[in-house]
Amino acid sequence: MPALENLTPFAATDFLSLTKEGAECLVLVVSGSFALPPAGRATDTPLAVCEEQQSPATTDAYWGEPEKSSLRYESQSAYTRPGTDVLLHCQAWAPRGRKVTRTQVAVRVGTLEKRATVFGTRVRYRGLMGLSASDALPFESLPLRYEYAFGGTTASGQEARNPVGRGFYTSAKEAMEKPLPSIEAPEALVRGWADRPPPRGFGPVARHWQPRLGWAGTYDADWVERRAPLWPRDFDERFFHAAPDGLRASTHLQGAEAVVLEGVSPDGPLAFHLPTHRLLARCTFAGRREKRRMVLDTVLLEPDEGRLVLTWRATFPAHRRLALHEVSTVRLLLPGEDAP
């Protein structure tokens, strides 16, 4: 593997990859972990760098069994990402930790904003006018995971956008005494058992879920004969985005964006600004140096862990030049230093 010198206070890795056109490239990834401020009071103080740094993920990690649970961390295997993903892992909390039957969650990062209404457990029962929803049970906190959003898999069908969720049924009989989703879009609440709203989630969408899978391209006989093992010609690089709708920035965030998280702590909102660190990557191939500014392409918010993780990426063309690679370096840009 190529040699990597990490001169940052963060964790770094590198790997080889192939672009859509089949050209070899060298990818450098840096993950920086920062301590979140206390909830309940906005702060303009820069976030402190964590003593323990989370290494970039090299394999996918799920909350449980891979086929029966949602994705927690996706491996950093993409050679690019068109914009910035914003991801949120946490619990939805009742205000002051006092039990409620519903509450609201909101995340805002720069111009991105996403909300959810979170209910206690409800089930379908047969009433005078057909199937009805029971009253929600009180709760103090509930995991913001796709397992509690609309979706699911039954003996007669599957919700391709979220096969591990709840609330997806193919008949009224099938829905009887079964749970409704607990995490819903405020503008598209589930009414009847046949409703099919978009699953409301804040974590990464697995590669084999829709609509992400639709960006992977066409893998047919022509691909097998003419293109494999390269990406299909209709491959869309938006496939590398893991964030759900509403949390994908079409261009890369720059740092310093305002962040507000509501409903994710019993002590009140969290409000702060993203760190403003700028990173420079440099590769040396047989005495020839190439430099480029690393782009911020993932913002992972983990209030339960008191942690924010930023991921920066830089990709260097290396087609037929890997044998000439000598060393790669990542470092912080100094204040006032111009980026290439």
pLDDT score of 340 more than 90: no
pLDDT at residue 143, as a whole number: 98
Lowest mean pLDDT across 38-47, 283-292, 331-340: 331-340
Whether residue 150 is predicted with pLDDT greater than 70 in this model: the reply is yes
**Span 323-336, average pLDDT:** 90
Give tens-digit pLDDT for 86-96. 999 999 999 99
CA–CA separation, 228 vs 277, rounded Å?
40
Contacts of residue 1, Cβ cutoff 8 Å, sequence gap at least 6:
14, 15, 16
Where residue 1 falls among pLDDT bands split at 50, 70, 90? low
Nearest to 120 by CA among 98, 142, 105: 142
Mean pLDDT value of segment 260-266: 97
The yes-or-no verdict on residue 82 having pLDDT over 70 is: yes
What Cα–Cα distance (Å) separates residue 35 from each residue in 58, 79, 303, 310? 23, 28, 9, 11
269-316 pLDDT, tens per residue?
999 999 999 999 999 999 789 999 999 999 999 999 999 999 999 999
Q: What is the pLDDT of residues 88-119, one digit of tens each?
A: 999 999 999 899 999 999 999 999 999 999 99
- The reported pTM is 0.95
pLDDT > 70? residue 190: yes
pLDDT of residue 153: 96
Please provide the average confidence, as pLDDT, over all residues in the chain.
95
Residue-wise pLDDT for 49-74, tens only, equals: 999 999 999 999 999 999 899 999 99
CA distance 339 to 243: 28
pLDDT of residue 126: 86
pLDDT in tens, 231-246: 999 999 999 999 999 9
Contacts of 319 (CB under 8 A, 6+ apart): 23, 24, 25
